[in-house]
Amino acid sequence: MNIILLGYGKMGKIIGEIAESRGHHIIGKINIENRQDLDLVEISTVDVAIEFSSPESALENISWAIERGIPVVSGTTGWLDKKPMVEQLTLQYNSAFFYASNYSIGVNVFFKLNRFLASLMKDQPEYKVSMEEIHHTEKKDAPSGTAITLAEGIIKEVPRIENWTLSGELNENEQTLSITSKRIDPAPGTHIVRYQSDIDDIEITHTAHSRKGFALGAVLVAEWIKNKKGVLSMDEFLSF
């Protein structure tokens, strides 16, 4: 399979290495310094684009691929206010777009565990919900996309919680879930969901040991999405 990498930072490099180790060909490595090279790409030779760039570049990169009928696997966070535009563009061009805030299989199991725990806690108002996420200092957006996905899962399951806020401390507003973001090197990613009461605390934690789990997941999705159409997600990929 021929893959073009839209974004060639640390994640892009690991994705490229894993893709090549699985027998695929990287036919383009695009970043902010050589974006003009997209004009030289022979579109017919590209099977899939994997997009891990920056919040500022994501929309432009993804749109470039979709408008040319190239399936896109995107993992960039911090731009999701524009995601409905991309979904509309995908349908307009009969292309394929796959987005996940985190491609780690373990994290996606954690998402399901989070939803299940939230469903158990929805009738336990004495427990105040909060979240903490820790990433390396090069991560630009806060909270992380993974933290936002976790928060959205809790909000869906717990009617008393209406929104989330980025805060350095536990929010006293019972309707708001507090998210604390820390940037500490070399942490690749830790997410903690806490239910705290005067009697006891309940916590679930996911800790990534490296970026390889995220990168491998993106390559597996790229292998799966080839020749598919529409707006797709981890639910379809993992058949949750």
CATH number assigned to the domain comprising residue 167: 3.30.360.10
What are the tokens at 170? Answer: 């536990």
Q: Please check whether residues 178 and 219 belong to one and the same domain.
A: no
pLDDT of residue 101: 86
99: nearest Cα among 206, 11, 1, 90: 90
Domain range for residue 25? 2-103+212-238
Q: Please check whether residues 193 and 178 belong to one and the same domain.
A: yes
What are the tokens at 32? Answer: 């902010």
What are the tokens at 205? Answer: 């934690």
pLDDT of residue 145: 87
Q: Please check whether residues 138 and 225 belong to one and the same domain.
A: no
Q: Please check whether residues 216 and 188 belong to one and the same domain.
A: no
Q: Please check whether residues 6 and 97 belong to one and the same domain.
A: yes
Does the annotation count 135 as an active-site position?
A: yes
Q: Round to the nearest angstrom and report the end-to-end CA distance of the chain.
A: 26
pLDDT of residue 31: 92
pLDDT of residue 171: 62
Q: Which residues of the chain have pLDDT under 50?
A: none
Does the annotation count 13 as an active-site position?
A: no
In which residue are the tokens 């990287």 written?
26
Q: Please check whether residues 139 and 71 belong to one and the same domain.
A: no
Q: Please check whether residues 130 and 169 belong to one and the same domain.
A: yes
pLDDT of residue 240: 53
Contacts of the segment 82-86: beta carbons below 8 A, 24+ positions apart? 82/58, 85/59, 86/59, 86/62
Q: Please check whether residues 111 and 175 belong to one and the same domain.
A: yes
Total-model pTM = 0.80
Active-site position among 139, 206, 209, 226 = 139
Angle, vertex CA 218, rays to CA 217 and CA 222, nearest 5: 115
Q: Please check whether residues 168 and 88 belong to one and the same domain.
A: no
Q: Please check whether residues 86 and 45 belong to one and the same domain.
A: yes
Task: Kindly state the DSSP code that residue 160 receives in the 8-state scheme.
Answer: T
Q: Please check whether residues 79 and 29 belong to one and the same domain.
A: yes
Convert the pLDDT of each residue in 120-151 to its tens digit. 999 999 999 999 999 988 887 889 989 999 99
Domain count, the chain: 2
In which residue are the tokens 């800790």 written?
207
- Which CATH number is 27's domain given? 3.40.50.720
19: nearest Cα among 11, 30, 236, 233: 11
Q: Please check whether residues 131 and 171 belong to one and the same domain.
A: yes
95: nearest Cα among 120, 71, 119: 71
Active-site position among 29, 82, 128, 135 = 135
